[in-house]
Amino acid sequence: MNLDELKQRCEENIRLHKEKKKAYYLKKKLASSSSEPEKKHQYIDYEKELFGGDITSFTAKIKEIAKKQKSHIQDREDIIIAKIEEYRNKKKDYYLENKDKRLEYDKNYRIKKKEDLKNYRKEYYEKNKEKILAKQKEHRRKQRVSEN
């Protein structure tokens, strides 16, 4: 197979793919437009809904909403407390089961961080050695002056 044949085959495959893609999208468009008539969205006029014309109805509406929310929370309070207690028990059991693993992990983590910190400090002091020594000399000089 030479290069020209390969190019022709590639172009033909691309053309066929584009035709299939176009047919698929046209089919989807026709199916969606014919099966479902367009639904009109229901719009809520919040000004009319909440205020109802005056401020007293607004405060009454807010109080009503607050009462509904409070009653909903009170209805679910027992369920929520039970779920929290269940979660605490699961967590406690998990930590008791995996205590040794956690302690080992914490130990390794502390050792690793200790080594990283030691390396960081070493690099920092090497990089800023002159600045640090100058600060220390200045501090010592001030101490001597204040003592005398």
What residues contact residue 62 under an 8 Å CB cut-off, 6+ apart?
50
pLDDT at site 33 = 73
Separation between Cα atoms, residue 45 and residue 5, nearest integer Å: 66
Domain boundaries, the chain: 1-31, 98-148
Q: 16-72, pLDDT tens digit by residue?
A: 999 999 999 998 888 877 666 566 778 877 777 776 666 677 788 889 999 999 999
The model's pLDDT over 97-139, given as tens digits with 9 standing for 90+, comes to 999 999 999 999 999 899 999 999 999 988 888 888 899 999 9
Tell me if 84 sits within 8 A of 90, measured CB to CB.
no
Tokens of 45: 């006029």
What is the mean predicted confidence (pLDDT) over 79-92?
94
Residue 3 has pLDDT above 80, yes or no: yes
